[in-house]
Structure 1
Amino acid sequence: MARRTEPDRFSTATRLRLLGEQTAARVYRSQSRRQARRSRLTGRAAFLALVVCSLVVALAYPMRQYVSQRAEIAEEKRRMAEARERVEELRDEKARLNDDMYIRRLAREHLHYVLPGETGYTVIDPETAEERIEDDGAADRPWYSNVWNGVDNADRK
């Protein structure tokens, strides 16, 4: 019998060994591909996260400025509307002040003017006058001091 130095291709042990090597090679290739994919996806995900964070940081300040400027614009529009209303009120007052009858009425009410031939008089409520004298302490002072206090009080109002 002659000895074979070559392994038998058809022996079970040889087939199992070859099958194991092939399977191990496939598993190793599959794992290396998965790891390569994972590392690529992880790198891509990290880059994407970096880009998104950069965009958020880059847009945060301009967005804050935009929102605050919109609020300022709304406030200025409100103030402008108030100013327009005030201008209209002043125009109406100016038109009324051009009317002689309105001026006469104001003079009669505020300055107690009377027309020639009329008798003007002022009625003072005695209870109110006494309360005012007690509050001011006007009874203890000379009359000219009370006059000046009246002028000062009128100036404050």
Structure 2
Amino acid sequence: MAARPQLTGRAAVLAIVVCAIAMSLAYPIREYVAQRRQIAQLEQEKAREIAAIKALDDRSKQLLDPGFIKRQGRERLFYCDPGQKCYVVMGESPSSGRGTTGERKAVAKPPWYETLWDSVKAADSGGGQKAAKAAG
């Protein structure tokens, strides 16, 4: 009895057809997965934007409330109602009762001309030292 070859012509053609089908489906499947990922990202972005819109809507409703406007005027701008005596204690921040323990005070920045003059003096002293070393 003659031994049959392991790989027949039909099996080779079948393997080629299966590979061709797999190759033709690879690109559309990759595009499908990429589009699904993009859809998920867009849905997350949409949720963030909806939350931002809701926050802005709440803020606009707050700003339409006359009581809120009055309270903000008193707290932030130190406004008083007519006939009311108001006192401002200097040296304290207006939000001292709100738990500002973690806040740092801003360091006062010198005026621009002082910074410029300091840089000129620093350049002069550095340049004078180099000239003295070169001459000596």
TM over 0.5: yes
Percent identity over the alignment? 34
- Structure 2 spans left out of the alignment, 5+ residues: 93-103, 115-136
- TM-score with structure 2 setting the length: 0.61
User: What is the TM-score with the length of structure 1 in the denominator?
Assistant: 0.54
Q: Which of 60, 64, 85 is the aligned partner of 1:94? A: 60
Query: Which structure features the higher share of helix residues?
Result: 1
Q: Which has the higher contact order (CA 8 A, sep 6+)?
A: 2
What is the CA deviation profile of residues 6-28 of structure 1, one whole-angstrom value per residue up to 9, with x for unaligned ones? xxxxxxxxxxxxxxxxxxxxxxx
Q: CA deviation at 1:75?
A: 0.7
Equivalent position of 2:78 in the other structure? 112
1:78 aligned partner: 44
SS at match of 2:8: helix
Q: One-letter code of the match for 1:121?
A: V
Give the 5 Å matches for 1:21-32: 30-31=1-2
* Paired residue secondary structure (1:52): helix
Displacement of 1:88: 1.6
| Number of aligned positions between the proteins | 101
Equivalent in the alignment of 1:121:
88
Residue identity opposite 2:10 in structure 1? R
CA RMSD of aligned residues (A): 2.8
